């Protein structure tokens, strides 16, 4: 099973990232513009966890934001600060009452988890009663934060906070509950494989992230698409739910923006904008003409 860039694939779909010191002249990022007779939509590829040293972003992000009166994200970013939503997260991540990780994980996965926790001097009690997908995403986030990254430095959080300060309206393509269901609805077998792949990649995550983010920051769309396809090749169910189905749903929402009269910036994980069945390709199939924004 190929796992070398599985975690970085998930991150590029919209969940995490790594560090670059400053914008370089060749930086172009992942931004497209699509227009109708009455409206314009900028599609901005995000990485959700970065270092504050990654700023400023490539220039197309700034010009797209300045031109837009509304900024739309994958979910309502304010939910990330809501105690009610955090309670929902905890509830959705729990195993059934009386069930433990020992009951749902294969012995080799459980052994790998134990070795990882011992190497980091973590206690398994912190994960007691949680589903494997939650364990996988939590340890990945902890590893990235150890490298100096922060969710508060993510592209979408950056523009959400700016939009609030600047008085721009914001919107969401889906709910937090829906995003959580993408993982909690996975079978325990799939979650086991997800956790195992995550544990295998921990030792190389820094190197893999630098590769992925070089593609993202310098705008190498084809290379990023190939990188992501390799990472998800062994997880077709996850690919369909995390990537393809959501792309189809989002295209319908984007077309409502194009039918309106606003200029809208749509900030989604960079992996949703590149490759086969991406938001960009689906819009092209629907008769629109997205162009790279420079």
At residue 18, the pLDDT reads 34
Residue 246: domain span: 10-292
Whether residue 3 lies inside any domain: the answer is: no
At residue 147, the pLDDT reads 83
**Alpha carbon distances (Å) from 261 to 5, 43, 240, 258:** 41, 16, 32, 7
pTM of the model: 0.90
Number of domains comprising the chain: 1
Cis ω on the peptide bond leading into residue 56 (within 30° of 0)? Answer: yes
Whether residue 4 lies inside any domain: the answer is: no
Q: Which residues contact 165 (CB under 8 A, 6 or more apart)?
A: none
Average pLDDT for runs of 10 along the chain of length 294: 52 45 63 98 93 92 98 92 86 92 96 94 86 92 85 92 97 93 91 92 84 90 87 77 92 98 97 94 98 95
């Amino acid at each position: 099973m190929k796992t070398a860039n599985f975690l970085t694939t998930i991150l590029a779909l919209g969940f995490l990232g790594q560090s670059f010191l400053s914008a370089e002249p060749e930086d172009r990022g992942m931004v497209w513009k699509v227009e109708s007779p009455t409206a314009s939509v900028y599609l901005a590829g995000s990485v959700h966890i970065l270092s504050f040293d990654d700023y400023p972003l490539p220039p197309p992000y700034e010009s797209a934001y300045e031109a837009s009166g509304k900024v739309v994200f994958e979910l309502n970013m304010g939910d990330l600060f809501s105690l009610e939503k955090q309670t929902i997260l905890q509830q959705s991540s729990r195993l059934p009452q009386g069930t433990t990780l020992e009951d749902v994980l294969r012995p080799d996965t459980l052994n790998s988890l134990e070795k990882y926790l011992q190497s980091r001097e973590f206690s398994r009690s912190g994960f007691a009663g949680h589903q494997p997908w939650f364990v996988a995403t939590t340890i990945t986030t902890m590893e990235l934060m150890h490298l100096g990254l922060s969710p508060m430095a993510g592209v979408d959080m950056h523009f959400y906070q700016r939009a609030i300060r600047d008085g721009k309206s914001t919107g969401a393509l889906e709910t937090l509950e829906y995003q959580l269901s993408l993982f909690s609805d996975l079978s325990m077998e799939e979650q086991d494989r997800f956790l195992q792949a995550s544990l295998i990649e921990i030792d190389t995550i820094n190197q893999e992230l630098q590769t992925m983010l070089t593609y993202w920051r310098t705008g190498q769309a084809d290379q990023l698409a190939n990188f992501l396809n390799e990472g998800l090749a062994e997880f077709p169910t996850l690919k369909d739910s995390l990537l393809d189905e959501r792309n189809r749903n989002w295209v319908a929402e984007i077309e409502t923006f194009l039918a309106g009269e606003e200029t809208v910036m749509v900030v989604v994980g960079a992996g949703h904008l590149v490759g086969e069945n991406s938001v960009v390709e689906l819009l092209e199939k629907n008769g629109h003409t997205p162009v790279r924004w420079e």
